[in-house]
Amino acid sequence: MTITPYAPPGRGGNFYSGSPVDRAAHHRADAARIASYLVGADTLFVPCWRGLHLIVRDPDDRARIELPTRRQTLMTPEFLEGTDWIFLGYLDERPLFVLDLSLMDQPELLFPQARGRFVELRPLASLLPPDEAAILAQARGLVHWRNATRFCGACGAPNQADQAGHRLVCTADPGHLHFPRTDPVVIMLVQRRDRVLLARGVRFGPESRTLSALAGFVEPGETPEEAVAREVLEETGVPVGEIRYHSSQPWPYPGTLMLAFTATATDDTLRLDPDEIVEARWLTRDDIRNHAALGFTLPASTTIARRMIEDWLTGAP
């Protein structure tokens, strides 16, 4: 197996990347500064509620996220003090926080001037400006981590937020520190001569007709390239040789980092793992261009899988 990682020059960013937020990590330890920002009249907020986001549709049916300032809300300093929040950084030089309002039954009452409503991100993501989707990717990932780490994994005691919400400290033993995590996932477009291998996993359900690139989590003690070779062989029985890095993408469902690769198969015989893969096909460029007639759909335009497929169609490296 030949492993050749590379970053092609000039490759643009994928959806959910390219955030306009200055994360300002050097200000997170300044508790006084963060406290003043939190109650500032012109501070911006990303409201999150049970996995939903405050999104408005403009007259042209484009989706935009609403980022109300504190003066546009009914949030008091006392309310904010008792609410889970995380400092995201600066947006256009203004402080930006994500608020988790999941404990409320009617969070919309806090935003009397808001034009939007709380909705799920995934169905509307492609209608959002990419930079706004990137803001939500950061916000969603942090909120998910915070909710999944309320108790210390070492002793079970409650955790307390620190570093503007970017660190959790065990209340029983302050030596137990917990930091935001992102789970690495490899996603790979397997090629052999003039065909690529697309598959449908069991997790997509019987109603799905989407064929996509293979993917899987990187395991402890494993490089991403090793994970590519292992996952392809385990799921489809196909051995791969040359492996090349393509690009990466934050994936906020709920908090993973997609590491995309291309891989060259040394044998095209398929031996599918039925616990993982429902179907897999070797497809030509004409097959993919005529996917509707062949009874399958392609991944959503916001996915890195779709980006890799389109690059392959156009002959991009």
> Residue 59 sits in a domain of what CATH number?
3.90.79
Mean pLDDT of all residues in the chain?
93
Other CB atoms within 10 A of residue 241 CB: 14
Buried b (16+ CB within 10 A) or exposed e, 196-221: bbbbbbeeeeeeeebbbbbbbebeee
pLDDT digits (tens, 9 = 90+) for 121-159: 999 999 999 999 999 999 999 999 999 999 999 999 999
Q: How far is CA 175 from CA 152, 154, 170, 171, 245, in A?
A: 11, 10, 7, 9, 38
- Going by the DSSP 8-state scheme, the letter that residue 295 receives in this structure is T
Whether 124 and 71 have beta carbons less than 8 Å apart is answered as no
- Residues pairing with 195 in the sheet: 192
Residues 94 and 208 in one domain: no
* Residue 88 pLDDT greater than 70, yes or no: yes
The answer as to whether 129 is a domain residue is: yes
Its pTM stands at 0.92
pLDDT of residue 58: 82
In a domain, 134, yes or no: yes
Q: Which residue has the higher pLDDT, 176 or 12?
A: 176
For residue 103, what are its two tokens?
């404990």
In this prediction, residue 317 carries a pLDDT of 61
Residues 204-249: pLDDT tens digits?
888 899 999 999 999 999 999 999 999 999 999 999 999 999 999 9
Q: For every residue of 161-175, which 3-state class applies, written as one string?
A: EEHHHCEEEECCCCC
| pLDDT at residue number 301 | 94
- Residue 307 and residue 192 share a domain: yes
Provide the CATH number for the domain around residue 285: 3.90.79.10
For residues 276 and 61, which has the higher predicted lDDT (pLDDT)? 276
The predicted model gives 265-277 an average pLDDT of 97
Residue 12 lies in a domain: no
According to DSSP, residue 128 is labeled S
Instruction: Tell me how far apart the alpha carbons of residues 197 and 175 are, in angstroms, rounded to a whole number.
Output: 48
What is the domain extent for residue 223?
A: 182-314
| 189 and 139 in a common domain | no
Dmax over CA atoms of the chain, in Å, equals 64
Whether 257 shows a pLDDT value over 70: the answer reads yes
Looking at the structure, tell me whether residues 223 and 139 fall in a common domain: no
Q: Using pLDDT thresholds of 50, 70 and 90, give the confidence band for residue 6.
A: very low
> How many domains in the chain?
2
pLDDT for position 185: 98
| CA angle, residues 116, 122, 127, in degrees to nearest 5 | 60
- Give the per-residue pLDDT at 60: 81
Could you tell me where the beta strands, DSSP code E, fall in the chain? 3-4, 44-49, 52-57, 63-65, 84-91, 94-100, 117-120, 159-162, 167-170, 177-178, 183-192, 195-201, 214-217, 240-251, 256-265, 277-283
